[in-house]
Chains A and B, each alone.
Chain A
Amino acid sequence: MAYDYNSSKPPLLEVRNMRVEFRVAGRRTPFVAVRDINFAIHEGETFGLVGESGSGKTTIGRAIIRINPLAEGEVIFQGERISGKIPAELDRSVIQNIQMIFQDPMASLNERAKVDYIISEGLINLKLFKSEEERRAKVRQALLDVGLLPEFSSRFPHEFSGGQRQRIGVARALIMNPRFIIADEPISALDVSIRAQVLNLLSQLQKERGLTYLIIAHDLSVMRFITDRIAVISKGVIVELADTEELFAHPLHPYTQALLSAVPSPDPIVERQKKLLVYDPSQHRYSESPPSWREVTPRHYVLANDEEADSYRTRLSPK
């Protein structure tokens, strides 16, 4: 589980100075969804992106998979730039190697297509099979890999429960044999008992195939369980990034602290003693000294100005 960060291997995916803008009808200036986004994800790692709705977390995932174009910055995958204009050969490789699992399994599967087609659509688009038998065999294997029966391939999505549908969504991503999977809120639409099944499936697949995950979610308790590192995003900017346990033990940025204080816990005593922190952006004095992205302790990054960074360091230093 614990990922070895000392290896000198280059990261699998790197996001540099990402900025995504959206045009708004009737306005001259575009809306900046996310800006100054920098992070690197290593092979075999599970990286989490947490934030509230509207914070831009989904936009980052969509920009990596090239649904949203970048206004600035670049995305590097396996050492090559994949944002902007890229050669057709690289395009194919990116489509195959980066796959996505969507939030709502009720909405993300084509209701009119059979499971067989839904799962093999990627193969068909990239012509990744030589014969019909090979395609069938791949679909069969993908279904087995996610714990479904091969017979299910002739059924329609409405015949399945939420958990099974999400497995179909996972099978559709897996059949491409990707190295990197972006999962946008993969379990938030599922029932409590089914969440565990899907979480177990994701971690089992990671162990077997050395997959790398970017998990986008708002539920910090789930994130704590599955991720190695977490980046906290607020209003389009990453405010803190650290190893998961470090982030939970020593949250530095006031926004992270507010977010952690609000996490619901299934424990009545803990909940009754809980003190809510409220994040007030005006508590920063950024007009005098603007914040920058800095490493406060090894591998623990936070957005802070000089004064704040000093106070964070004193807080972390052993007394």
Chain B
Amino acid sequence: MEEILKIVDLVVKFSLRGRVLTAIRGASLTLNQGETLAIVGESGSGKSVFCKSFIGMLDNNGWVDSGHIFFEGKDMAPYTKERDWLAIRGKKIAMVFQDPMTALNPLRTVGLQIQEVIELHQRLRGGEARQRTYEILKDVGIDDVEMRYKQYPHEFSGGMRQRVVIAIAMACQARILVCDEPTTALDVTIQAQILQLIRDLQHKYNLTVIYITHDLGVVANVADRVAVMYAGDIIECGTAEEVFYNPQHPYTWALLSSLPQLGIKGEPLYSIKGTPPNLFQEIKGDAFAPRNPQALKIDFLERPPAFQVSPTHFAKTWLLDPRAPKLQPPPAIMALRAKFSEVS
């Protein structure tokens, strides 16, 4: 498998009211051509910032402090000029935004908003660009394209608007499509349709897709590989089967155990105590340790390195160190592991 994007020890910082916040704390990730990767995490875990760092969309008060972002053999980490990013953003890596209600310009027709992107990225003009717009609208499952072309966003339903947002991203003919919570604003039936649409487009155009989401149901549906983010670091990453059925990091355990689908009716759900750490302060040891009732002593002292569980699976937890005590994961996780042995 060909690596298309490789991120090594990325550190992203923001300056806020004279203080420095470390949003991404040395996260590493590789993305393979044609795969679907899901980045899961709670709000504030840094999943959106992480993705914005490799399309040059960090806010003005944020910067890549150290680390590397290799894309097509070039390191994009030192990019600071808008001109550098213009060759990447949209052209090579496009983004589908979360809320279709705000991602579209309410004052311009849907057709023109797509055509604008085609004219910019595909160097087509006039009638040709218009024809291409019709094709893209058809691609994303919109019928009656000639009428739809002339309509404004408010004449579209939520699901249809999300299709338009996807059409705009597709119009760039990018290699990587980053979808930031593409379905959270939508109903479950529509959500399923949009996920299917993205999957169809991915096959048709050989796209590599990154999903940013907190919905583990969506992740299970779409992902080939899953990366779990906590407090600005990717603490576990593996194939969907590995992360869902054989999770290693206590945070992944906690996240999965707290799902109502895995709970027993009438009994309290497993819930994570406390709050995520303050990223203004330096974090010592494992960032999840203060919320982990079974944390080891070393968790508070030293940051765990990435331990390889299988060639495709790593987790940053001291539990994987050969010297660590063998801890029993929560019951819900034990049940999942039984499933894992069935699968593999």
Contacts and interface: CB of A to CB of B under 8 A. Distances in A.
Interface of A: 1, 52-53, 161-162, 191-197, 199-200, 203-204, 218-222, 224-226, 258-259, 262-272, 274, 276, 278-279
For the residues of A in contact with B, the DSSP-based class is helix
Contact of B258 (A1, A192, A271): A192
Contacts of B258: 192-193, 195-196
28 contacts: A52-B187, A53-B158, A53-B187, A191-B42, A192-B216, A196-B258, A196-B260, A196-B263, A196-B270, A196-B271, A196-B272, A197-B271, A203-B268, A204-B268, A222-B260, A224-B265, A225-B261, A225-B263, A262-B192, A264-B191, A264-B218, A264-B221, A266-B259, A266-B262, A267-B261, A268-B220, A272-B221, A279-B189
Nearest to A274: B221
A1 B265 contact: yes
A268 B223 contact: yes
Nearest to A258: B189
Contact of B268 (A200, A265, A266, A271): A200
Given A1-B265, A1-B266, A218 B240 contact: no
| Contact size range, B | 35 or more
Contacts of A267: 220, 244, 261
Interface in B133-165: 158
Contacts of A52: 187-190
B6 interface: no
A204 to B, nearest CB: 7
B196 interface: yes
Lowest 7 CB-CB distances: which A-B pairs, in order? Answer: A264-B217, A225-B260, A196-B271, A1-B266, A196-B258, A266-B216, A196-B269
A277 B245 CA distance: 27
Contacts of A271: 217, 220-221
A262 B241 CA distance: 21
A259 B192 CA distance: 10
Nearest to A267: B220
Contacts, number: 118
A52 B214 CA distance: 20
For the residues of B in contact with A, the DSSP-based class is helix
Nearest to A277: B189
B341 interface: no
Contact of A161 (B193, B241, B275): B275
A266 B271 contact: no
Contacts of B188: 52, 218-220, 259, 262-264
Interface centre among A162, A196, A263, A278 (most CB of B within 10 A): A196
B110 interface: no
A269 B43 CA distance: 27
Contacts of B343: 269
Given A161-B275, A196-B258, A225-B263, A191 B214 contact: yes
Contact of B269 (A1, A199, A279): A199
B42 A266 contact: no
Contacts of A222: 260
Interface centre among B43, B215, B255, B259 (most CB of A within 10 A): B259
A191 B191 contact: no
Contacts of B219: 266
A192 B269 contact: no
A268 B247 CA distance: 13
